Structure 1
Amino acid sequence: MSEPPGAAVSLAEAPPAAPSPTPPAALRVRPSRRHGRWIATAVVLVLIAQFAHGLATNPFYQWDRFGYWFLRPTILDGLLVTLEVAALSAVLGLLGGIVLALARLSRSPVLRAVSWTYVWALRSVPLIVVLIFLYNFSALYQTLSIGVPFGPAFFRFDESRLATDMAVAVLGLSLNEAAYAAEVVRGGVLSVAQGQHEAAAALGLPRLHRFRRIVLPQALRSIVPNYVNQLIGLVKSTSLVFYVSLLDLFGSAQTMGSTYPGDIVPLLLVVTAWYLILTSVVSVAQFYVERHYARGALRVLPPTPLQRLRAHSTGLRERLRKEAAV
């Protein structure tokens, strides 16, 4: 007999559930195709190939003359002068920048005003003007003296004997570099958290020890990359010392170009190549110095170029092995 409406149906009489669809044996997730990136990559590679082809086949560059001049003693002597001027100016400029930055951060209004005025003036005047002014400084002051203002002088010396071409070049670049280094150092010191200063003061550390052992190591993480950019600019700025009769790398090439006018382009390429080498060495040093000072701030240090190459080659081999297995 039929059951009344609403009666429960036993599990034994319930209809069987529909079987679930069986998943495919293997599902492969394919990355989305980025056609724009591939097109942009192809366009860039074509442009690079055309540029390289033009460099290699254009006879105007005279690569045989480039090879002749690249290691000539005249060029190497100018390169040594460039390295000497850049090294001395970098050290003196950094020391002057530190002094100016500390004066700018001082509580003395006189020191702050003098430091700000110096930085403002030297950053406003072109470097070539500073070099030419120093080169003709003996026309304004034949002798220099140290003594009591408006009183007797204790020491006198002839300015023309001290103002050699090398001294003028190093002094001009150092004065200019100190103005920019002062802002770099001051920005790095201000980047240190105020709590670090307060914690060091709470420990009763002397002010100089506080700055040297606590503030400066943390500030260097911000100072190093910015100042290395200044060093790269300084290396290129040494080309201006030719105008104060100092034969650096650019000056030597310029002199040889006036003697051999047919080799002007190869000589310019030689200068370009040497400046590329110098700035590349500075950039590599910057990477390792930044990596050294990042040890206390990062859990994992950034990989070196060699480590990146090894990781890339290992990943490429692994990908090829998986592709071959499929």
Structure 2
Amino acid sequence: MTKSKTTLSKLLAEAKFSQECEELMSSLPKDRSFFAEYLYQYQGFWYPPNILEGVLYSQKHFQAKDSDIILVSSPKSGTTWLKALVFALIHRHEFLTPLESHPLLDNNPHSLVPFIEGFQFHTQDTSPKIFSTHIPLRSLPASIKDSSCKVVYCCRNPKDAFVSIWHFLKSLMLKEMVGCTIEEMVSGFCRGSSVYGPFWDHALEYWKESQENPDKVLFVMYEEMREQPRDWVMRIAEFLGCSFTEEEIENGVLDSIIKLCSLENLSKLEVNEKGKLVNGMETKAFFRKGEIGGWSDTLTPLLAEEIDKTTEQKLFGSGFRFFC
């Protein structure tokens, strides 16, 4: 497959890897990819080389503390919004008044809450420390599983998640994804060959863990948060041990956080319209519509049916259902 030089391919593929990672990749199953030459299957999930390197590094070096907070999602499943909300509610006594000085006004949420597989966890200096990851449950660093740190998992309808990934990838290309059709990408998504995929296995693992260990893992649905943000932000705060007081609610603190962190507000900030992350990604790529059911503008009925059939097969007998 011929591909043009793209911003995304540089970010995902053009890097030097450790000897450990190189040796591991040589022994792993691999599949063609549209944004890096190959995806590699490690512990049941698929990664481009540089993310695989980050997963290996975090497994060896990330040391979670009991007070840490870990935010998890599949790619494009409410990650940016969840980071903003949790950062704002955890640090509401420091930054909410005056609002004009809030870090979220001048920093993209990904800059404030680093990915542990992005080699950035050594720079985190907030307290409690808040980290994020897309790493599947089975591949999390042992210290996260063994400590008392809290995990919040945000799940999104697979059709909307896929469409968000599709537009995200297109926005990071210089022109277009040469050689990649949406039909081919849906096919790869449904067979599980997508970054951090299979999507359904990712969600099911965390959902089951939230059922078995509810004090450790809180499972939230993106769509429910969009429809009832006050209820869910309060539930997240309670889960993290920093519940809102009646006085805070009466004084509008909860509503101020929801307004500050709304995708509509964040997307209009200069830092998210014109900024770049340290890896060169433009921050505007992280904001599109965030709508519930927005997939219908992109997926044909046949492609939507293909994803629905995969969803039905993957969830059969699990007791879990996606929203809408």
What TM-score does the superposition give when structure 1 sets the normalisation length?
A: 0.21
Larger radius of gyration: 1
What TM-score does the superposition give when structure 2 sets the normalisation length?
A: 0.21
